[in-house]
Amino acid sequence: MVNERWNEFLELRKNGSEIDLFSELSFCVLTANWSAKGGMIAQEKIGEGFYTFSLEELEISLMKVGHRFPRARARYIYENRWIVGNLRNLLSLPVEEAREFLVKNVKGISWKESSHFLRNVAFCEVAILDKHVLRLLNKYGYIDIIPKNWSKRRYLEIEKVFKALADEFGECPGKFDMYLWYYLKGKVEK
């Protein structure tokens, strides 16, 4: 399952249009404080509407799929449309630069969401440090506390721990995250 999903990510990176890439970025904006399952449903129902809908249509669509914050997320997505036409160039940057750019310039994108987007377009060297991964790291003594708020420094410190653990298992962080999700949930979402 992990390799199948990874191949989908590779295909998106290689052959996805700017609109496809924007849809994936919008998915990552939506899943912050929501769920991957909900984000996948929204992505399926809204599709190119992330780029073409009016702000009001986007809000209504997010309400219909049950998003917790439909107005705020619709506004973020709507205001992020400027990046369409630049996403392929972004993917040609070193991953650290691409992630930093996303965090600084794209609304609704923090360290976790930028890592999520980059992983979902087959950058394997980033870690998605969500609450499930953090709980596992804490449970097994890899981190002392689960941060309530993220700074760049704190995210990168914990990511370094995660990368070392992934390396122990002989896997890159992006794929290792997917294996952990499979272990926890019995399926691989996004």
pLDDT in tens, 76-130: 999 999 999 999 999 999 999 999 999 999 999 999 999 999 999 999 999 899 8
Residue of 130, 175, 177, 190 marked active site: 130
pLDDT of the residue at 112: 94
Q: Which residues does 142 contact at the CB level (< 8 Å), separation at least 6?
A: 161, 162, 165
pLDDT of residue 7: 96
pTM given for the model = 0.95
Q: Which domains does the chain have, with CATH numbers?
A: 2-120 (1.10.340.30), 131-185 (1.10.1670.10)
pLDDT bucket at 142, cuts 50 / 70 / 90: very high
**Is 130 designated active site?**
yes
Q: Is the pLDDT of residue 190 over 90?
A: no
SS3 state of residue 11:
helix
pLDDT value at position 84? 98
Query: What is the maximal distance between C-alpha atoms in the chain?
Result: 48
Pick the catalytic residue: 112, 175, 177, 190? 112
Extended strands (E) in the chain: none
Model pLDDT, residue 189 = 83
Question: Does residue 55 have a pLDDT over 90?
Answer: yes
Contact 116, 173 (CB under 8 A): no
Q: Compute the mean pLDDT over every residue in the chain, rounded to the nearest whole number.
A: 95
Q: Report whether pLDDT(184) > 90.
A: no
| Per-residue confidence (pLDDT) for residue 188, from 0 to 100 | 84
Q: 130-136 long-range CB contacts below 8 Å, 24 or more apart?
A: 132/180, 132/181, 132/184, 133/162, 133/177, 133/180, 134/158, 136/180, 136/184
